[in-house]
Structure 1
Amino acid sequence: MQHRKRGMFMDGLLNRTNLHKYQEYSVRFIIDHPTAAILLDCGLGKTVITLTALNELLFDYFEMHKVLVICPLRVGNVWKNEVQKWSHIRNLKLSVAIGTETERLAALKTPADIYIINRENVKWLVEDSSLPFDFDTVIIDELSSFKNHQAKRFRALMKVRPRVKRIIGLTGTPASNGLMDLWAEFRLLDMGQRLGRFIGRYREDYFVPDKRNQQVIFSYKPKPGAEDAIYRLISDITISMKGSDYLKLPELIVNEVQVKLSEKEKETLDAMKRDLITIIKGEEITAANAAALSGKLLQMANGAVYDDQGAVVHIHDRKLDALEDLIEGANGKPVLIAYWYNHDLERICKRFDVRQIKTSKDIADWNHGDIQIAVIHPASAGHGLNLQSGGSTLIWFGLTWSLELYQQTNARLWRQGQKDTVVIHHIVAKGTIDEQVMTAIRKKEKTQSDLINAVKINLTERRKTA
């Protein structure tokens, strides 16, 4: 690799002196730890921290030569844009290998320091691209997306993990579904050194069966003392920080708006829950298993459901009416609505004059104040979107079990740079699965908060003892 001189400071660009102390600490941690888990809340600057460390490792220490960044599809260009904002890393050359196979191959063959690929193409890169996997450093942006040890992306990356000299995992939601998630994430990072090489042994050592049906175990819960033991094992390669500790965040108001179903509507949902089948307006709605049942019940709580032929069957408009009240109560301020199912989107669009946040122009128009009511899907709002300039009110029309998507969507508005109090409304159908989802989210948040607190650095204490 031809080493280039560091970029000089240019007008309008941020330089190294603009980094916060916690960011400088994180840079040093990455440099000093060939294996590192960086658990930072949204808005703390994971990207610039990592790029700064990579810049030093490439051009000052000469400890790496070719870097692969694996990230969510929509975040690929975020890395490239970040380089353009900071003068001290502007010398880095990035190649974004996202798009068609031809485009990806061309990008991977282009001379660069850092190559960026979306996580869906990890298997393609390792097994199907015919290119040699000659990366000595791997950055996993959103480490939590590798929490499933049976996923193709996990298996593919594990095949080449022994060739990688440095690996960094970045995420703000390391245990979105509980501590069981951590095994695969750290198995990938340290190849089983801390939490073991086998999921069965990890489960046996730290968990006991929780929900079960005779011999079939549906979930596990930590043994007494297991959480502390796990935190202790990973603490030497892990740092974590909460945004509230380092950023001036706006006030946050979280609100639940309950809607009440009629007795007939409630009976329809109860029949589905009890029998895995119900009849709505002459159409038969069935659920094959517990996961399918959960989806059907969430749809029905929202007011509509897909029948067995894929057609939409209307049940009620309780949430639409509540949504109308919330929009009216915003008194003309912009409102962002999170939906989950397509039939929710269709009914929202039919009732209100809304615009979907899908493209870069949509994002720009929202932040410029040109959109009064916007709708967004949590899966597309999860990472890399800054929407805090366009409004401060978020309404969850439909809920999700995913803590990661839930927190990341909220963080689009509740983040540094937001000038107003952020209000997050949840429209909850009383006596339905909505209430269980809200309880589960609160429980998961506590588990994740405990993890982050356990390995959270305290810069003040470190300075005192230094």
Structure 2
Amino acid sequence: MICSRAEIEKKRQEALEKLAKKGLSPIKSDSKIRNSVTNCANFPISPNIKTPSKVIIHNQKPYERSSERFNGNKVAKGISEFYGANKVNSLTFSLISSEKFSVNMSSYSNAVIDVFKQIPSKNYDSNSRSWFFHIKDYNLIFSKLTLIKSQYNLKIEKLPTFVVSFLQKPTKNCDIDINRLDTELSQTLLPFQLEGLRFGIERNGRCLIADDMGLGKTFQALAIMNYYADDWPLLIVTTASMKHVWEETITKYLTSVPILQVQYMTASKDYIGDAKILIISHDLMSRCCDKLLERNFGCIIIDESHTLKNFKAKITQAATKLAKRAKRIVLLSGTPALSRPSELYSQLSLIDDNFFGSFIEYATRYCNLQKTHFGLDSSGKSNLQELDIILTRKFMIRRTKEDVMKCMPKKTQEIIRLDVKLQNFSETERKSLEVLANRYAATEKSKDKHSLLLTFFSETAKIKIPSVCSYILSMLEKNIKFLVFAHHLIVLNAVEDVLKSKNRKYIRIDGSTTGDQRKYFVDKFQTDDNYICAILSITAANAGITLTAAQIVVFAELHWNPSILSQAEARAHRIGQENPVIIQYLLAHGTADDSIWPLLQSKQDILNEVGLYG
């Protein structure tokens, strides 16, 4: 293409106008630009234009960017950003114990290091490249870093104020007067149970006892409330199946309380005006909340408190109203959180409703709260080490059987692989399982995934029945008492049919079993050697019963909550057990077991981080 002198002049004017609009001025004068035209192979110059004998080059330094000729400030800023002069340096505070915290830097900074070196309790770990400080110096280091924050472009992720202020308070140690307890109760308490009593007294009768199943949480709760008998009446909220356990324990060990002043509420119309101790179910508590509020219970024990995991549920709202009026409240649960940290909030709020603030604040810090298309998602986890420290220091005492019962018989867990291929089921059933497995693996939405898992789980029950029954037959040959846990009725019925066919005595506890029947069945199994097996529903019989006569616990089916399984295991492995206990999980390849088992491991890892799984 050949350009005429007029066209070149027109383009030159357009370029000058563009520079003027951008607020930039050309480096050379108009005459110099005219004389700095060079030849270009792709754009030949018109013959009418004389080629200069010397090509004029702009006054430009070697390797200088073209943009530098127009705006030196902009370029300087770009270079400084590229080389990190204005790069944000994130400082993350993390709690590592009740007395120490660490500060980690995203990038090195001499100014920050100089601040660290001024702190009296400083300690540097060369392996992890982390700085550690005592919690008493938190305010000092934070204030010093705040002074240089803007100058060195620091982003400080500090510890929550409620955590720091709590940990900086001196710990409270008090002497307890054991003579304030009823003699029968005080003489029954084991050393670790006395420690649980002390823990509750040091927290003014507001705490969570989360000891492993079978370690006598009932005795510890009654001891704490017996210590504060002046603040009664006492309300005990429990499951319907535990009514007899509480009644028997109170009658036997709290001899100072007249039997007529211990009542169990069975209907909303029941008169409770004279009750010194009232026992009520969780469901009835939510339905009779106003009536209970009128009674002004000064002390409350809530058994199996994990049932209050949903702070929006009516039962939780009723418990919250009662807890605000009570001076003392003790929560009992061997599994406070069944699978995630969010389930703890409502229980901890019953003990101290001001500590964490709102659920949003709690979930943001400890549940990795996320905004999704379906609303806020609080099913995650974050800062679990910090949460574990706060739980242990303020709210919760937890001991496992291994911690306190050194002479406790050993518990062994085994996985038994069932060979379902040897059983006679149709090819259609096989393909159905494969389709469900593939759909479950491909689904990402948690709601849809859980729905598919339930369907997959139900189909698995049908497939496993022949293999499970075959295994139960082999167990009968050993002539040792054992428990069989299952979830679906068809599996429970199939196991029962096997025992009937062999004329062996057994007990069965499921959702249709009444409280009186449960007690009768448990006593039969515990005292009569002819009863060889207990057929149990995982959801209906995982708590509230003691079956230490058994030495083997067989899980014919799984459950998606590891805490539920742990509770079920503890029916046999608890105080009173004299023999080693073997736990057997019957798993079948190619079924829902392949999906549920890894899910259990993942949930267990989360609970381990918060110190809620033995």
Q: Which category of TM-score, normalised to the shorter sequence, fits these structures? A: 0.7 to 0.9
Distance 1:408 1:423 in 2: 15
CA shift for structure 1 position 209: 6.5
CA shift for structure 1 position 216: 7.2
Distance 1:120 1:8 in 2: 31
User: Is 2:421 the partner of 1:259?
Assistant: no
Q: Which runs of 4+ in 1 moved over 4 A?
A: 5-9, 212-219, 273-276
Distance 1:216 1:260 in 2: 44
Q: Cα–Cα, structure 1 residues 243 and 446, in superposed 2: closer, same or farther, change >3 Å? A: farther
* Equivalent residues in 2 for 1:351-366, closer than 5 Å: 351-353=498-500, 354-357=506-509, 358=513, 359=517, 360-366=519-525
Larger radius of gyration: 2
User: Is 2:487 the partner of 1:324?
Assistant: no
User: Is 2:349 the partner of 1:191?
Assistant: no
* Equivalent residues in 2 for 1:137-216, closer than 5 Å: 137-193=299-355, 195-198=356-359, 200-208=360-368
CA shift for structure 1 position 217: 7.5
Q: Cα–Cα, structure 1 residues 147 and 131, in superposed 2: closer, same or farther, change >3 Å? A: closer
User: Is 2:246 the partner of 1:112?
Assistant: no
Q: Output the amino acid matched with 1:197.
A: S
Is the Cα contact below 8 Å between 1:378 and 1:409 reproduced in 2?
yes
Is the Cα contact below 8 Å between 1:77 and 1:96 reproduced in 2?
no
Partner of 1:40: 211
Q: Output the amino acid matched with 2:467.
A: R
Partner of 2:541: 381
* Seq. identity, %: 20
Post-superposition CA distance 1:94-115 (Å, at most 9, x none): 524243444xx13x23x23221
Post-superposition CA distance 1:397-423 (Å, at most 9, x none): 111123332112111101122122211
> How big is the alpha-carbon RMSD for the aligned residues of Structure 1 and Structure 2?
3.0
Partner of 1:309: none
* 1:406 pairs with one of 565, 586, 600: 565
Is the Cα contact below 8 Å between 1:6 and 1:90 reproduced in 2?
no
Is the Cα contact below 8 Å between 1:119 and 1:153 reproduced in 2?
yes
CA shift for structure 1 position 356: 0.9
Distance 1:275 1:246 in 2: 46
CA shift for structure 1 position 301: 1.4
Q: Which moved more, 1:90-99 or 1:342-351?
A: 90-99
Partner of 2:575: 416
CA shift for structure 1 position 291: 3.2
Name the SS of the counterpart of 1:391 in structure 2: coil
CA shift for structure 1 position 77: 2.1
Report the TM-score, using the length of structure 2 for normalisation.
0.61
* 1:24 pairs with one of 194, 216, 221: 194
Q: Output the amino acid matched with 2:545.
A: L
Is the Cα contact below 8 Å between 2:238 and 2:280 reproduced in 1?
yes
Post-superposition CA distance 1:183-226 (Å, at most 9, x none): 12112221141x3322x33222223369x997677773323xx0
CA shift for structure 1 position 396: 0.7
Q: Which moved more, 1:116-125 or 1:266-275?
A: 266-275
User: Is 2:592 the partner of 1:433?
Assistant: yes
Distance 1:355 1:319 in 2: 18
Distance 1:95 1:121 in 2: 17
CA shift for structure 1 position 75: 1.1
Distance 1:404 1:254 in 2: 15
Partner of 1:53: 224
Name the SS of the counterpart of 2:228 in structure 1: helix
Is the Cα contact below 8 Å between 1:395 and 1:427 reproduced in 2?
yes
Q: Output the amino acid matched with 1:196.
A: G
Partner of 2:119: none
Name the SS of the counterpart of 2:479 in structure 1: coil
Q: Output the amino acid matched with 2:215.
A: L
Name the SS of the counterpart of 1:381 in structure 2: coil
Is the Cα contact below 8 Å between 2:573 and 2:581 reproduced in 1?
yes
Q: Cα–Cα, structure 1 residues 386 and 142, in superposed 2: closer, same or farther, change >3 Å? A: same
* Equivalent residues in 2 for 1:238-277, closer than 5 Å: 238-247=396-405, 248-262=407-421, 264=427, 265-274=429-438
Distance 1:401 1:145 in 2: 16
Distance 2:551 2:571 in 1: 9
Q: Cα–Cα, structure 1 residues 96 and 292, in superposed 2: closer, same or farther, change >3 Å? A: farther
Distance 2:240 2:438 in 1: 39
Name the SS of the counterpart of 2:337 in structure 1: coil
CA shift for structure 1 position 375: 0.2
User: Is 2:388 the partner of 1:231?
Assistant: yes
Name the SS of the counterpart of 1:452 in structure 2: coil
Q: Which moved more, 1:168-177 or 1:227-236?
A: 227-236
Partner of 2:285: 122
* 1:90 pairs with one of 247, 250, 255: 255
Distance 1:441 1:85 in 2: 40
Name the SS of the counterpart of 2:388 in structure 1: helix
Q: Cα–Cα, structure 1 residues 123 and 243, in superposed 2: closer, same or farther, change >3 Å? A: same
Post-superposition CA distance 1:245-281 (Å, at most 9, x none): 11232111211111244493432112234569xxxxx
